[in-house]
Amino acid sequence: MKAVVLAAGEGTRLRPLTEDKPKGMVEVDGKPILTHCFEQLAELGADEFVVVVGYRKQDIISHYGDEFEGVPITYAHQREQKGLAHALLTVEEHIDDDFMLILGDNIFDANLGDVVKRQQEDRADAAFLTEEVPWEEASRYGVCDTNDYGEITDVVEKPEDPPSNLVMTGFYTFTPAIFHACHLVQPSNRGEYEISEAIDLLIQSGRTIDAIRMDGWRVDVGYPEDRDRAERLLRGEDVEPESEAAEV
């Protein structure tokens, strides 16, 4: 299974850490965030990395070249950062089967393998790692609603009044059907092509999307303090976030 890694962002909120490097090259516990991503994806059986680059792309390409620990790397260029659905379309020509998708600014110590396993069962058209967050924080994320079978029935991007406190993390599996949905997405109020909108289109077309509750932790490295927290967690110097993590 191929693995798509989104790493085109500038990381303005991470400054000064990103003044001279792209977000994915910011080091966490002695190695770039992208290296953490590649290592985990390789453990999950990725046979090719398709990396979406943009801001300071040459820094990433020069560092990793055309392979990582024997796994070939293909690069796709997102010339303008217009949202995750827009970024995903840059890799369409490289994907012809089910694939993994990870946001290249996330550090995980979690059950990513459960998501891949669910995709391989052919029961679902997509599967996402999800987590429960405090209700007051849910409006910062893509919020999911599920039915009694653990299938996602609705996804809303950063809602003012969240329908639940179950949110998408930065790890997904998809079939190529997601690309057709991304082509249909219209710009949001933020002027971006949201992946949550593409997912909602899949749901409306009758596709089955499963939510897998996170068992473990993840840190979205958006600010310098997030980098510091991820380092503490990786070193065992911090406690895990409170979670009732279990598969739906």
d(CA 87, CA 78): 6
Provide mean pLDDT across the span 204-212: 89
Q: What is the pLDDT of residue 240?
A: 53
Closest CA to 9 of 243, 220, 230, 244: 220
126-132 and 209-213 strand pairing: parallel
How far apart CA 42 and CA 1 sit, in angstroms, is: 10
Closest by CA to 177, choosing from 154, 151, 203, 150, is 203
How far, CA to CA in Å, does 51 sit from each of 36, 61, 66?
A: 14, 10, 11
Mean pLDDT computed over 76-103: 93
Both tokens of 127, joined, read 């599967």
Tell me the pLDDT band of 238, cut-offs 50, 70 and 90: low
